[in-house]
Amino acid sequence: MKRQSGITLIGFVIILVIAAFFIYTAMKLVPAYMDYLNVSKALNTVATQSTSGDMSVAEIQRQLDTQQLSQYFADEDIEAKNISVASTPNGGSTLKLSYDKKIPWIYNIDFLVHFEKTVPLKMQQAQE
């Protein structure tokens, strides 16, 4: 007499529920991470552009806000206040973006994801 082996209907339903849970979670989180990758691309683009040494923080923020960030995505969580330029000890500057994104998940449960990106600015001294 042969004994059958395989998955039962209840086992199959449990596997489907677990798979659906992870797929639903990924569908909620992946767009936020895609936006972050686009932000990283925009920051790297601005950082590698030739900028004069006398460019102010406000000018860099305006350039990011109007030219770069709007080309890559439209996310209301990222504003000019989330962008900062800091000096490094070796005389250079870094461009930093830090923001939080609240992603609704199920009923009253939300994901709070923190994104942070820092890139060194390429600073060239003005030609005399």
Residue 13 lies in a domain: no
Residue 54, domain extent: 33-124
Q: Cα(41)–Cα(54) distance, rounded to whole angstroms?
A: 24
Residue 27 lies in a domain: no
User: Per residue in 43-86, pLDDT tens?
Assistant: 787 777 655 554 566 666 666 666 555 555 556 666 667 777 77
Residues 86-97 have a mean pLDDT of: 78
- Asked if the model's pLDDT at residue 127 lies above 50, the reply is no
Residue 3 lies in a domain: no
Residues 23-48 have a mean pLDDT of: 85
User: Per residue in 2-29, pLDDT tens?
Assistant: 787 778 899 999 999 999 999 999 999 9
Residues 104-113 have a mean pLDDT of: 91
Residue 53 lies in a domain: yes
pLDDT for 69: 55
Residue 45 lies in a domain: yes
Residue 48 lies in a domain: yes
Q: How many independent structural domains does the chain possess? A: 1
Is the pTM higher than 0.85? The answer reads no
Residue 28 lies in a domain: no
Residue by residue, DSSP assigns 14-75 as HHHHHHHHHHHHHHHHHHHHHHHHHHHHHHHHHHHS-EETT--HHHHHHIIIIIIHHHH---
Residue 7 lies in a domain: no
